[in-house]
Structure 1
């Protein structure tokens, strides 16, 4: 199954016999003390025709409670949000944001994890769309999505460390945060011992679109993600890491997501922290 869709392909699909449900998940990471990003206002100013808005902080994540900044959402809340946006199992879904694709990837990952059979991310996000945008209009027809938790694509804290020992654990945060040189958000900088630095920003080109499947495959193989070794990914709070899981899917490499990520790991002072450019 394809994980991403181009704007041209989406425009064609929207005229087909079973057009995809569109989810607008515009969101931006903000540092402590900064004004929060208002995705609903952005959506109201213009969105893809027929798209429904989904809020990352309240519908694609639960409130922080010792499980990281963006823990898994309550499935009842997530399911209600999906139904309100028109999601049903018998219709494909396309998710987009305003760039760089992290929020859209989080929604993509959650829909995959909860069993939706066909979901893709708009490559390049809203900036790649050349058609007209719509103002607020009628709400999408209510869907009948009934998400259920999946298996095999989710890591907990101890599982992240185990994946670093028994397979490959990719750290999707910026290199300077991985090395422990700076940490603008969490308690301390550094990385999970054994994790390999793999900033998710390197998965896209200057235009914000994913690099080719071949380029991504070469990149991840150079980082050790090949063969039978299981792959896991973490970031700061399980958002940009979902984008890396998406990039791995484009490359044909299955991977699990550590949802709590560094914000959960580093909050426990008893957990080991590595610094510097090397995994150990």
Structure 2
């Protein structure tokens, strides 16, 4: 199945049919929610999806800031978006697909086969002169049935092992990876052995994904290699602050032809586990041992 769809390709699909279910996943860390922006203008037929309430669970700090939602909750939300079994789903946002990728990953992981990101998001749609509509219309309930576990995931132990014995990518900005600053989570730095690969490097100046060849070259330069055999599981692990933009890195790795494993708890979980070591600086580094949590504000 294809991972990306262009604005022109989506417009053609809407005319030729069958029409896909379109999900608008506008969200920014710290808010406000994107529903107001959605109501001001969205793709025709799109349904608004709230990342914080529909694409994440809620638990203790040691679960991370955006733990995966319970399958029953995700299925109820997906039915509320009007999804039925066999639907093609297109997701987008207005932030380079940094938040829409979370919906892509969750739905793919839950067994929805044909989920695509609108390459370039809302900006690409508008750049083609295609229409947007205002307001919000009721959506007939769908009947989709979801099942967990279609994509590989990592817990903290597996992430630590992969950072030591394989390749674990940290998708956060370089200053957070280095530990120069940490505005959200209680400790600064990165998982020892993880390699920094900020998500911004996946996109061109127009907010579209780089070509598959360019993405493959990027990740190969960071040490990512394909599995020796199809049954080996996955090629590379990825995490970020709370598991949201790590899904964007997973998209880029998928486009590049690799099979990524996502660490959903990501740094927000790791930093709240006091026995987990932390590395700082520009290199993958060795752990410095447990450190005292700061009083950073949680979102």
> Which bracket does the TM-score occupy, shorter chain normalised?
over 0.9
Post-superposition CA distance 1:5-39 (Å, at most 9, x none): 11010101111231110001100112xxxxx2221
In structure 1, the residue matched to 2:102 is 106
2:240 counterpart (231, 235, 255): 235
In structure 2, the residue matched to 1:38 is 33
Quote how far apart the aligned CAs of 1:101 are. Answer: 1.0
Normalised to the residue count of structure 1, the TM-score between the two structures is 0.95
In structure 2, the residue matched to 1:33 is none
Instruction: Give secondary structure in 2 for the equivalent of 1:94.
Output: strand
Quote how far apart the aligned CAs of 1:151 are. Answer: 4.6
1:92 counterpart (59, 82, 88): 88
Give distance in 2, aligned partners of 1:200 and 1:101: 10
Give distance in 2, aligned partners of 1:162 and 1:47: 43
Distance 1:137 1:268, change over 3 A: closer
Asked whether the equivalents of residues 123 and 209 of structure 1 are also in contact (C-alpha less than 8 Å), the reply is yes
In structure 1, the residue matched to 2:279 is 274
Instruction: Give secondary structure in 2 for the equivalent of 1:102.
Output: coil
In structure 1, the residue matched to 2:295 is none
In structure 2, the residue matched to 1:160 is 159
Asked whether the equivalents of residues 166 and 230 of structure 1 are also in contact (C-alpha less than 8 Å), the reply is no
2:258 counterpart (247, 253, 256): 253
Normalised to the residue count of structure 2, the TM-score between the two structures is 0.89
Instruction: Give secondary structure in 1 for the equivalent of 2:66.
Output: coil
In structure 2, the residue matched to 1:145 is 144
Moved beyond 3 Å, runs of 4+: none
Quote how far apart the aligned CAs of 1:84 are. Answer: 1.2
Moved more, 7-16 or 106-115: 7-16
Quote how far apart the aligned CAs of 1:139 are. Answer: 2.0
Asked whether the equivalents of residues 89 and 117 of structure 1 are also in contact (C-alpha less than 8 Å), the reply is no
Distance 1:64 1:102, change over 3 A: farther
In structure 1, the residue matched to 2:4 is 4
Asked whether the equivalents of residues 111 and 150 of structure 2 are also in contact (C-alpha less than 8 Å), the reply is no
Give distance in 2, aligned partners of 1:137 and 1:171: 37
In structure 1, the residue matched to 2:135 is 136
Q: Pairwise CA RMSD of aligned residues?
A: 1.3
Give distance in 2, aligned partners of 1:260 and 1:83: 26
Give distance in 1, aligned partners of 2:5 and 2:151: 25
Quote how far apart the aligned CAs of 1:78 are. Answer: 1.1
1:68 aligns with 2:64: yes
Instruction: Give secondary structure in 1 for the equivalent of 2:105.
Output: helix
Quote how far apart the aligned CAs of 1:98 are. Answer: 1.2
Quote how far apart the aligned CAs of 1:138 are. Answer: 3.0
Give distance in 1, aligned partners of 2:219 and 2:112: 26
In structure 1, the residue matched to 2:182 is 183
Instruction: Give secondary structure in 2 for the equivalent of 1:107.
Output: helix
1:120 aligns with 2:116: yes
Q: Number of aligned residue pairs: give it.
A: 275
Post-superposition CA distance 1:46-71 (Å, at most 9, x none): 11111111110010001142210000
Asked whether the equivalents of residues 33 and 50 of structure 2 are also in contact (C-alpha less than 8 Å), the reply is no
Distance 1:108 1:162, change over 3 A: same
